[in-house]
Chain A
Amino acid sequence: MSRVENIGIIDPSRYGEYGISKEDLMWMWRTMMLIRRFEERVVKLFEEKKLVGASHLYIGMEAVATGVMKALDKDDYIVSTYRGHGHALARGIPPRLVMAELFGRATGTNKGLGGSMHVSMYPELGIMMTTAIVGSGIPVAAGLGYAIKYRGEKRVVAAFFGDGAVNTGAFHEGANMIGLWRLPVILVCENNLYGMGGRVDRVTAGSTGFSVIHRALAYNIDGIVVDGFDPVAVYIAARKAAEKARNGGGPTFIEARTYRFLGHNLRDPQRYRSREEVEEWKRKDAVIRLTRILIDNGYASQEELDGIEKQILEEIEDSVRFAQESPYLSFEELYNFIYA
């Protein structure tokens, strides 16, 4: 029978015990800061009407993508979603390519044709597909996992999805296959409490304490509930799941408990939650927390971090310039991309 483990915030005094190095922490901080500042810039670009279209932002959830990507190898497969800017950046897709994709330019990750909701599709780094349809990536993860098993490879699949996905048919059909066939798949549920405006407990039968981990148990998949504001905790959970999968131990459902600080998208009036609730969650801010840990524990000085942040901001401004100077595809070219 499957079982559930809880991994809470990891106290810095235990980093050594888990083999967490200064380099690991600095990488995590830089990755989370890059996502945060990038998304803030995206908000501004929307406000300035320089960006149009979809805008499902990752602010507040940075620790999840950061911790999971840290645990993956370069050959591993990833299935991402329409809330994928953070996945893209954490996996190491250059910000220039990500920003150009948001601008719809030919120099973007997907020549502009994926846009915000598919910006993270990047097979070159193992992100094999993205979906803008809630839950639809899970059967695809099953197929990727099956291919790995069929070939006897050591790869794993990490499939990201939100709490809303666990109520879709595709999730249940896919999770059943993954559990049944013991596929090397890590189901990464980014439980940010809301599927659009539907809070977990208002839309999910059997949820307790806003958790959806019971869905994993139904399919004989082990669960790990992890604090999604601690990239170290997420990393430890994902590392454990990945090791298990690589050694033939089958799938794991990681429920990363997180929160999106912004609305579902930038058009969301957020009538379904209070300002107080959002402010309360912001006190858990992963970026602020890790900054404090790095300084308090002597991993880095404020000046050092400021220097890195300056680099990040420059990189982001460079990505905006790059995107704006890049061309669109011509309409005629589009016909080349329909069939192989």
Chain B
Amino acid sequence: MGEIIMSYAAALRETLREEMRRDPNIVILGEDVGAWGGVFTVTLGLLQEFGPQRVIDTPISEAAIVGAALGMALAGLRPVAEIMYMDFITIAMDQLITHAAKLRFMSGGRIKLPMVIRTQYGIGRAYGPQHSQFVPSWFLQPGIKVVAPSTPADAKGLLKAALREDNPVLFIEAALLYETTGPVPEGDYIIPIGLADIKRKGSDVTIVAISRTVLDALKAAEILSEKHGIEAEVIDPRTLYPLDLKTIFSSVRKTGRLVITTDEIRSGSVAAEILSRVAEDPDTLYSLETAPKIVSSPDMPVPTPAPLEKAYMVNPDKIVNAVITMLR
């Protein structure tokens, strides 16, 4: 199979198209996923190909979007519900956390819920505190799986996996990633959920980078290599729950240094969760030569003005500085 260069949004769109052609049980529902084509163009053209019964424009009702997806999944469909901004998912928390994540357990393992909730976080577009939040740690809950691909290829591979999974999957995209491009394998390219990826090999420091910050971490790694002779290993967990700790631990044991990057606020973050897991694993903890560091957004709502948001966000320089400070 060959590869095609395409954008992250296009990779998602073509994957949905391929999977919908394969499986008539797949339906898409959400706000403006049909006639509009999705505000980020992910579902553009799917209404025309699959019709309004399979590409369903819903009212602005996040609780009912996720709840209806749950009902569809119970009836054996395979819904893909879109929550336009991750901020809006709080409206659907009851359906997702208290119902979707619990029903199988409460049924003694008798029901399955093949459902995907797609959402994105919008940081970096001057949209402010209510359209920019990246809050994956709220969903580290038994019963659901959480993925956050950073490249077009990963977006395809993980979406394919999610669409063949019999558990609820929260699929987190990022607005700033949609127009990024990269090679995407053709055909049935599936990345198993729960598998991290080493995006760059290195021996001096491990940078575990989440979602959009993978791009920053890779840029930082280039700067570190070219200007400072430091070789960073960049690991993208890709799945945030369950975490592939094995890949992270073995990298940290090799490099002895750990930086974790994320667009989350520091407190209660997935980054903090990863760090706590490292701290609990003696072999990994004692392999650290210096204190580890989280490079995240500060504990502050996302500021709206573009220059202030820029100052707020993770960027390659902040990562470079963290590594250099650590190695000094």
Is A337 at the interface (CB under 8 A from chain B)? Answer: yes
The one of B53, B69, B103, B166 that contacts A143, using a Cβ cutoff of 8 Å:
B69
The residues of B that contact A340 with a CB separation of less than 8 Å are 104, 109, 112-113, 166-167
> What is the total of A-B residue contacts with beta carbons within 8 Å?
150
Is A114 at the interface (CB under 8 A from chain B)? Answer: yes
Is A59 at the interface (CB under 8 A from chain B)? Answer: no
The one of A118, A128, A136, A339 that contacts B74, using a Cβ cutoff of 8 Å:
A128
- CA gap between A329 and B51 in the complex, in Å: 46
Is A131 at the interface (CB under 8 A from chain B)? Answer: yes
- Given A174-B67, A340-B112: A143 and B105 interface contact (C-beta under 8 Å): no
Is B214 at the interface (CB under 8 A from chain A)? Answer: no
Q: Are A337 and B72 in contact (CB under 8 A)?
A: no
| Cβ distance B143 to chain A, nearest Cβ, rounded Å | 6
The residues of A that contact B67 with a CB separation of less than 8 Å are 136, 138-140, 142-143, 170, 173-174
The residues of B that contact A177 with a CB separation of less than 8 Å are 58-59, 61, 64, 68
Q: Are A111 and B61 in contact (CB under 8 A)?
A: no
Q: Are B71 and A173 in contact (CB under 8 A)?
A: no
Q: Is the interface of A mostly helix, strand, loop or mixed?
A: helix
- CA gap between A22 and B142 in the complex, in Å: 50
Is B291 at the interface (CB under 8 A from chain A)? Answer: no
The residues of B that contact A141 with a CB separation of less than 8 Å are 71
The residues of A that contact B94 with a CB separation of less than 8 Å are 133, 136, 170
Q: Which of A215-239 contact B (CB under 8 A)?
A: none
**Per-residue CB proximity of B71-85 to A under 8 Å, as 1/0?**
111111101000000
Interface residues on A, range: 35 or more
- CA gap between A138 and B70 in the complex, in Å: 11
Q: Are A170 and B75 in contact (CB under 8 A)?
A: no
Q: Are B106 and A139 in contact (CB under 8 A)?
A: no
Is A198 at the interface (CB under 8 A from chain B)? Answer: no
Q: Are A339 and B64 in contact (CB under 8 A)?
A: no
Chain B residue with minimal CB distance to A148? Answer: B75
| Cβ distance A176 to chain B, nearest Cβ, rounded Å | 6
Is B140 at the interface (CB under 8 A from chain A)? Answer: no
The residues of A that contact B166 with a CB separation of less than 8 Å are 340
- CA gap between A340 and B142 in the complex, in Å: 12
Q: Are B108 and A139 in contact (CB under 8 A)?
A: no
The residues of B that contact A77 with a CB separation of less than 8 Å are 74-75
**Per-residue CB proximity of A142-179 to B under 8 Å, as 1/0?**
11111110100000000000000000011001101100
Is B123 at the interface (CB under 8 A from chain A)? Answer: no
Chain B residue with minimal CB distance to A169? Answer: B63
| Cβ distance B254 to chain A, nearest Cβ, rounded Å | 31
Q: Are B68 and A146 in contact (CB under 8 A)?
A: yes
Chain B residue with minimal CB distance to A139? Answer: B67
Is A129 at the interface (CB under 8 A from chain B)? Answer: yes
The residues of A that contact B65 with a CB separation of less than 8 Å are 139
The 6 A-B residue pairs whose C-beta atoms are closest, nearest first, are A143-B71, A139-B67, A111-B108, A147-B75, A173-B64, A337-B109
